[in-house]
Structure 1
Amino acid sequence: MANPLEVESVTATESAAKVETPEKKKAPRSRKAKAEPKPPARKNAANTPSQAEKAPAAAVRRKIYSEKERAQMLAQIEKSISGGATHKSAVKQAGISEQTYYQWKKAAAPASDGDNLKDLVALEEENKRLKSLLAERLRKENAELKRKLGL
């Protein structure tokens, strides 16, 4: 059996060694090292959860709207805004976010410029047709009046 005094002396020297170790001063870290977050430690691929497991149970799926649906929603929102509603309430009523509304509006703006040009050309053609029709009717009326007057 071991002598109890020897056990106490060994324990005392071990505890003294433990006490001395924490007294070491560490070198200060640079500020840059403190500011940068550490990347998470990589785990074994077999232990990591798949993307489906990471997703919350009540994940919201995005609805993809066609160009026609987008145009209809934008028109509905513009109508609500012109009726006195705020942007926020009109967009919420349509069921989309404000960011989505502004992105759709930005994307739809160049397409509407092309439509305006087509509309302008169509109106000019109709105007030309109506002018020629009016001129023809006026000629007939003028010829009839001359005939009645005997000129």
Structure 2
Amino acid sequence: MAKKTYTPEQIINKLREAEIHINQGIPIAEASRKIGITQQTYYRWRKEYGGLRIEQAKKLKSLEKENARLKKLVADLSLDN
């Protein structure tokens, strides 16, 4: 199965969909399967994105990307010296 990359908006929407299933009494494993992810992915997403609005998730991803870029830049500069 090919690995699919989801945008923060898609992740939050899938988490909301899963919560609807769970609130209806469906077990987490089955709710995860219904939205097309594994149970482990559900828990990881809930830990990272739980309670965030879409705008906040976008900002989080943007900051993480910038942080990685800056870390690489610092590492490259320290290797040059």
Fold match, TM over 0.5? yes
1:104 to 36, 40, 45: 45
Alignment of 1:94 with 2:55, yes or no, is no
What TM-score comes out, normalization by structure 1 length?
0.33
Q: Distance in 1 between matches of 2:32 and 2:15?
A: 9
Report deviation, 1:110: 6.4
What TM-score comes out, normalization by structure 2 length?
0.61
Q: Distance in 1 between matches of 2:20 and 2:28?
A: 11
Q: Distance in 1 between matches of 2:47 and 2:6?
A: 16
Unaligned runs of at least 5 residues, structure 2: 57-81
Q: Counterpart of 1:73?
A: 14
Q: Find the structure with the greater CA-based Rg.
A: 1
Question: Identity rate of aligned residues, in percent?
Answer: 28
* Residue pairs, 1:1-151, within 5 angstroms: 60-109=1-50, 111=52
Q: Distance in 2 between matches of 1:110 and 1:77?
A: 13
What amino acid sits opposite 1:84 in the alignment? G
- Is the partner of 1:101 in helix, strand or coil? helix
For residues 110 and 71 of structure 1, do their structure 2 counterparts lie closer, same or farther at Cα, with a shift above 3 Å needed? closer
Matched positions, count: 54
- Name the structure, 1 or 2, with higher relative contact order (CA <8 Å, separation 6+): 2
- Is the partner of 1:62 in helix, strand or coil? coil
Q: For 1:14-51, what per-residue CA distance to the aligned partner results, in whole angstroms no more than 9, with x for missing partners?
A: xxxxxxxxxxxxxxxxxxxxxxxxxxxxxxxxxxxxxx
Unaligned runs of at least 5 residues, structure 1: 1-59, 116-151
